[in-house]
Amino acid sequence: MSKTAAWISAARLRTLPLSLSGILVGSALAFPSGQFDAIIFWLAMATTLGLQILSNFANDYGDGVKGTDNDERIGPMRALQSGVITDKEMKKGIILTSVLTALLALALIYVSFRKENFILSLVFIVLGASAIAAAIKYTVGNSAYGYRGLGDVFVFVFFGLVSVLGVNFLMTKQIEFWFLLPAISIGLLSSAVLNLNNMRDEHSDRNANKKTLVVIFGKRFAKTYHFSLIILAFFSFLIFMVMYFKSESNMIVLPLLAFIPLAIHLKKIIQYKDPKVLDPELKKVALSTFALSLSFFIILIVFN
């Protein structure tokens, strides 16, 4: 594997569409009021991609130096694990990505508020800094929260609630309480991807003392938890669509079609015994979430 290929692999391109889902949904919700802002949209997309890549680099580094990524791991070989990229090089990659993501976040905040609201700008600067720190601390350091079963909280909050409600607020400068429903849905589906990843890596994580929820509570709990995440995500989005579109039943149905492959996916979760079969399921859940968000985005453009 070449250096370039190793860096691309470490960025984990297949995770990127999922990270954009919240931005698509939150931005779409600004269309009805005529407050959609294309510049804010693209800066938010770029910032989120930077945050996701940073998280992936930090995860590669943290699991690599702790020995969690070893021959027992089922998924694709990580960059640090392969030896093509050294821990020092990955550290530099993390620092560079952190700086670029911070600059993108500052540009996003400036475009959103200009010089008009210093307090709100400061709030979002703190929020952005927290997101960057959380992305790094997921597996890096002795107090890495991903090793204490708290990774799901980070994913739900930042890639669900903050992503959807945050970008919508940057455009509209207001918070609609009922927008929590699609935000919760995206957060739950994002957490389902993480849970699936942890179910796949249960054996190697347990041996490396990485206490994910499946390691702490067992496979049976992880399956029930996984079902709960996807079913609650479905009903949360369904309730919002019914409330929003009311009599426009055709508008309600289209985004929810993304849950059909997720229903098939749940059947596989019931039946699986070998964790290796879970790896392709990661892509299915991630792409279904992205399809849900993209179709919702397109519908609100057309509907409005």
Give the pLDDT confidence of 78-135 residue by residue, as tens digits.
666 666 788 788 889 999 999 999 999 999 999 999 877 888 889 999 999 999 988 8
Structure tokens at 150: 């708290």
User: Would the pLDDT of 1 be above 70?
Assistant: no
Q: Which of 67-71, 227-231, 292-296 has the lowest mean pLDDT?
A: 67-71
In this predicted structure, what is the pLDDT of residue 242? Answer: 86
Query: Which of residues 108 and 299 earns the better pLDDT score?
Result: 108
CA distance 15 to 225: 21
Structure tokens at 53: 């890549």
**Mean pLDDT, to the nearest integer, of 26-37?**
93
Mean residue pLDDT of the chain comes to: 86
Confidence grade of residue 136 (pLDDT, cut at 50, 70, 90): confident
CA distance 89 to 189: 33
In this predicted structure, what is the pLDDT of residue 187? Answer: 96
Angle at 46 between CA 43 and CA 47, to 5 degrees: 85
Contacts of 155 (CB under 8 A, 6+ apart): 187, 190, 191, 193, 194
First vs last Cα of the chain: how many Å apart?
A: 48
In this predicted structure, what is the pLDDT of residue 28? Answer: 95
Residue 19 near residue 51 (C-beta atoms within 8 A): yes
In this predicted structure, what is the pLDDT of residue 246? Answer: 73
Query: Which of residues 236 and 203 earns the better pLDDT score?
Result: 236
In this predicted structure, what is the pLDDT of residue 62? Answer: 74
CA distance 221 to 53: 30
**By percentage, how much of the chain surpasses pLDDT 90?**
46
In this predicted structure, what is the pLDDT of residue 27? Answer: 96
DSSP state of 174: S
b or e along 158-194 (b: 16 or more beta carbons within 10 Å of the residue's beta carbon)? Answer: bbbbbbbbbbbbbbbeeeeeebbbbbbbbbbbbbbbb
Confidence grade of residue 67 (pLDDT, cut at 50, 70, 90): low
Q: Which of 66-70, 174-178, 179-183, 190-194 has the lowest mean pLDDT?
A: 66-70
Range of the domain at 184: 3-303
Q: Which of 1-5, 50-54, 254-258, 273-277 has the lowest mean pLDDT?
A: 1-5
How many structural domains compose the chain?
Answer: 1
CA distance 239 to 192: 20
**By percentage, how much of the chain surpasses pLDDT 70?**
91
CA distance 255 to 275: 30
Confidence grade of residue 75 (pLDDT, cut at 50, 70, 90): low
The alpha-helical segments, DSSP class H, found in 67-179 are 79-82, 87-113, 118-137, 151-156, 163-172
Residue 54 near residue 97 (C-beta atoms within 8 A): yes
